[in-house]
Structure 1
C-alpha cells in the first residue's frame, strides 16, 4: 500500500513505541481505556466501511465497545466472529473473512480491525494483505501474547496440517492498540502463555530485563497494571528494534523465534490447540537453552535460570513424548531450515542470540532430557 501510516493521537495515560519502517512506520499504543477513547482512532483514515474481525469469545466482551468507537470514523462498521482457537487458523476460517468482505460490498479503502489474540491478528492481517491485493488493517490485541509479540511486526499467516504459519505474508498494520483493560478477562492459562513471549526477550536481547522479570514475575501473574505496562512496552521496544532492522527475517529477526523451532514441532505434533502457542514456546525455550549449553556457548546456570522462570510462569518445561524421529521430521519443515538442515535460535552469550545448525545427535540428547 502507498498510504503513509498515521502517527496516532494518544490519551494522556498511554505510552507509545514506534516501529520504524520508512513510509510503513506505525505506533504501538499501550494504556488503559484505549478502545473507547476517541483519541486512539483520530489519526486513522475514514472510510465508507470497516470490518471488525474477532472471535466468539472476545466478540461478546469487547466487540460492541470497539464498534461504537469506530462509528465516528467509518460509515458502516461490520463485525464477523470466527470460531475461537488455534485449531481454526486455517483456509476454511480465513474464507469467513473474505465472505464477510464480499457480501458487505467492502472496497479497497475498507479498514480491517483485528480484535482478539494471535490467531485473530494473524488471520486478519493475512486477509488484509490478500483482499483486493491489500487493504489497511489495525491490530487490537486482547491477549498478552498478542500484545508483546504477534500483533507487532507484520507477520501474518494461517497454519497447514504439516506446519505452523507456513502460508502467509509480511504485511504491516496501520496501528497497534494494546488496551490493558482487555487483560482483565484473560484466563490464567492465557496469561502464562503470553509470559513465554515476554521471557524470551531477556536471553536474546536484554538480560537486565530478564533480571527485572525474575524480580517482578509474581506482580505480572497478579496482573499489576504498572508491571504489565512495563513488560509490554519493553517487549515491544525490543521487537521494534529488531523488526526495524530486518523486516522480512533475512537475518537478525530470526532471533525472535527463540524456542519456536521446538515449540512449533510440539504444536504440530500434538495437533494445533492441544497446547497453547506460548506453552509450546516456553517449553521450547527450555530445550533451546539446553542446546545452547550443549553447543558450548553458555554456562548451564543460564539454562537453569531460563527453566526456572518458565516454570514459575506456570508453563510446561517437559515436552510431549512424540519421539525424537517425529520431532526431527517436524522441525525440518520449520521456515528457518535450509536444504534439510535444521537451524535453531541459540543463546551465544547472555542477552545475545544467533541462528545455528546443530547435529541431529545433539538435538536427540536435548529431546531425551526434556521430553516424556
Structure 2
C-alpha cells in the first residue's frame, strides 16, 4: 500500500504521513539538531515503541523510551511531572525532541510535555489508534485532565510531524477501532459527505482496519481536520466545528470517570446535537435519522441513560466553548453545514436529551 502525505498549513506547517510501514519518515521530522529523543509511549505498547526507537537510533539519535500509563490514566498532572523530571535527568535541551507513541491520551500527554518543557521543544507524534490518527494527533491541541473536567489544562503546540502507520490498527480491539470511527463520521457530517457515503455503502468494511476504504476514510478525515486547524489553530472561530457532539460527550466521559470510550460518547453527543438542532428548527428530521443510521450501522451507540441528565447538564456548564455563563453548541443546518447555537433554552436542552435517553 502506498503512502499519502497531508500537509497541515498554518504558522508552523507540518506533514501527516499515512500508510503502512511508514516509520522511515520519522528521522526527517525529528530533524538533525536533536541529540536526545524521548520516546513517550503507552506502557502496553512496547512492541510498537521498539521499532520507533530503532529507526531513530539508526539515524544517529540517542533515544530513551519512557513508558507512561495506558489510556486516560496518562493524562494526569503527576504523570506529566514525572516526565519533566525524566527530561531533566536526560539533560534535554531546547533542540532535543519528544516522540509520542500511542493512542490519543498518550499523544495529548507527550505533546503537552513537549510544549511545557523549556517553554517548548519539538514533538513528533506516532498515533497507534484510529481515534488518535484522525483526531488527537492532528491539530496541535495538547493537554491533561483534572478532576473538574477533561482537557481543561493544556496548550496549543503543533507537532513537527505525524506518522500514521496503518499496520498498528490491526492490533486494536474491535470496540476501540469502532470508537475511532465516530470521529471519522463526524468529519463526514461537518465537512465531507463522501465519508458518509463510503460508510453507508459498506458499514461492515468500514468497521474493520483491513476494510477496502480504510486509508481513504482516514485520509479524508485527516484532510478535514487539516483544513480546519490550518486556518484556525487556536479555536478563534472555525475550529469549533471540530467539537461537534463533544459538549455532551465530555459530560458523559466525566460522569463515567473517563472509563467510557471517547468515540462512543461523541456518537451519542452528535445525535444529541442533531436532535437539538432539529427542535430548534435548523436541521431536517431526515438528517437526524441519518445520524442514527450511519452510527448504528458500524456499532456505535446513540443513546444514554435517562436518569443521567441532571449530572450531564451540570457537567456541560464547564465547557471550553462556553462564553461566560452562555452555553454554546456546534450544530448543523444540513450535512456539511455547521453552525452554532448559543444559549439554548433549558426546556429545549432537556427535550433534546429525552430524544436520546434510554
Query: Over residues 104-156 of structure 1, what are the superposed CA-to-partner deviations in whole Å (9 max), with x where a residue is unaligned?
Result: 22111111001001000101111101001110010100000000111001000
* Gapped regions of structure 2 (runs ≥ 5): none
- Distance in 2, Cα, partners of 1:322 & 1:102: 48
- CA 1:157–1:322: 2 relative to 1, 3 Å: farther
Post-superposition offset of 1:43: 5.1
Give the stretch that moved more between structures: 218-227 or 278-287. Answer: 218-227
Post-superposition offset of 1:74: 4.2
Query: Over residues 45-72 of structure 1, what are the superposed CA-to-partner deviations in whole Å (9 max), with x where a residue is unaligned?
Result: 12221000011112x2211111000013
- Distance in 2, Cα, partners of 1:87 & 1:268: 13
2:74 touches 2:109 (CA, 8 Å); kept in 1? Answer: no
Confirm whether residue 353 of structure 1 aligns to residue 338 of structure 2: yes
- Distance in 1, Cα, partners of 2:100 & 2:287: 37
1:49 touches 1:74 (CA, 8 Å); kept in 2? Answer: no
Give the stretch that moved more between structures: 65-74 or 220-229. Answer: 220-229
Aligned residues: 356
2:136 maps to 150
- CA 1:236–1:67: 2 relative to 1, 3 Å: same
Question: So what's the TM-score if we normalise by structure 2?
Answer: 0.96
- Distance in 2, Cα, partners of 1:74 & 1:354: 49
2:156 equivalent among 166, 170, 178: 170
2:141 touches 2:157 (CA, 8 Å); kept in 1? Answer: yes
2:124 equivalent among 138, 148, 156: 138
Post-superposition offset of 1:240: 0.9
Confirm whether residue 190 of structure 1 aligns to residue 176 of structure 2: yes
- Distance in 2, Cα, partners of 1:320 & 1:106: 48
1:266 touches 1:320 (CA, 8 Å); kept in 2? Answer: no
1:275 equivalent among 233, 244, 260: 260
Give the stretch that moved more between structures: 344-353 or 66-75. Answer: 66-75
2:325 equivalent among 340, 344, 365: 340
- CA 1:355–1:74: 2 relative to 1, 3 Å: farther
- CA 1:43–1:84: 2 relative to 1, 3 Å: closer
- CA 1:365–1:116: 2 relative to 1, 3 Å: same
RMSD: 1.5
Q: Secondary structure at the match of 1:223?
A: coil
- Distance in 2, Cα, partners of 1:308 & 1:225: 20
- Distance in 2, Cα, partners of 1:161 & 1:104: 30
Post-superposition offset of 1:171: 0.4
1:309 maps to 294
Query: Over residues 53-108 of structure 1, what are the superposed CA-to-partner deviations in whole Å (9 max), with x where a residue is unaligned?
Result: 011112x2211111000013343100111111213411011122212211222111
1:6 maps to none
2:71 touches 2:103 (CA, 8 Å); kept in 1? Answer: no
Post-superposition offset of 1:40: 4.5
2:38 maps to 51
Confirm whether residue 213 of structure 1 aligns to residue 229 of structure 2: no
- CA 1:75–1:40: 2 relative to 1, 3 Å: closer
2:214 equivalent among 191, 213, 228: 228
- Distance in 2, Cα, partners of 1:133 & 1:74: 25
- Distance in 2, Cα, partners of 1:77 & 1:282: 39
Q: Secondary structure at the match of 1:42?
A: helix
- Distance in 2, Cα, partners of 1:40 & 1:329: 43
2:102 touches 2:126 (CA, 8 Å); kept in 1? Answer: yes
- Distance in 1, Cα, partners of 2:137 & 2:193: 23
1:240 equivalent among 212, 218, 226: 226
1:31 equivalent among 16, 19, 23: 19
- Distance in 2, Cα, partners of 1:173 & 1:111: 10
Confirm whether residue 369 of structure 1 aligns to residue 355 of structure 2: yes
Q: Secondary structure at the match of 1:284?
A: helix
1:119 maps to 105
1:55 touches 1:120 (CA, 8 Å); kept in 2? Answer: yes
Q: Which runs of 4+ in 1 moved over 4 A?
A: none
